[in-house]
Amino acid sequence: MSEGWAETGAQLRRREPSLYELEPGGALALALDDESWMLELTPDGRMICQTGIDMDDVKSLLSDGTAEDLGTDELAKQAKYYLQPSVAKVRKAFLGAGFEEATEMTDEYVAVTFQRPVDLANLEDVTNAIRWCKQQFGK
């Protein structure tokens, strides 16, 4: 962790008290809504808005016995299908604001992310970007 990020993080937390460290010296995060969306600011200058679902939750949703028969790829497709309504609500706004969309899949979870670079040296712009993201979710 650089001292620059420590100071930047402290200043951002003063401006936006709901930000918290995901791990000491790491990214800052805050919850955006009740549908599991969160915002993350990384030390390398990325703003990430993301939602996801745990693969065990997908298996529970499909608990009529088919989940055990489904492979990881099929479970991931089901997870993406489950996330789509939430993602569709914000996709146009995020893409229009210069964010790039990506889907991240592991054996443990599926996440849809929207990310773009931010200039951590310009705290006013970062704070405005955080506010804008929160507004997309009515916060």
pLDDT in tens, 48-86: 999 999 888 887 777 665 545 667 777 878 888 889 999
Sequence letter at residue 124: E
What Rg do the C-alpha atoms of the chain give, in angstroms?
A: 17
Sequence letter at residue 46: R
Tokens 């146009």 correspond to: 92
d(CA 15, CA 73): 42
- Predicted TM-score (pTM) of this structure: 0.86
Write down the domain spans for the chain: 3-135
Read off the pLDDT of residues 15-24 as tens digits, 9 standing for 90 and up.
999 999 999 9
Could you tell me the strand order of the sheet in which 109-117 lies? 20-21, 28-31, 38-41, 46-54, 109-117, 100-105
CATH topology for the 3-135 domain: Aspartate Aminotransferase, domain 1 (3.90.1150)
Beta-carbon count within 10 A of 61 CB: 14
Read off the pLDDT of residues 83-109 as tens digits, 9 standing for 90 and up.
999 999 999 999 999 999 999 988 888
**Helix-, strand-, coil-residue percentages of the chain, each rounded to 5:** 45, 25, 30
Tokens 């773009």 correspond to: 116
pLDDT score, position 65: 52
Helix or strand or coil: residue 51?
Answer: strand
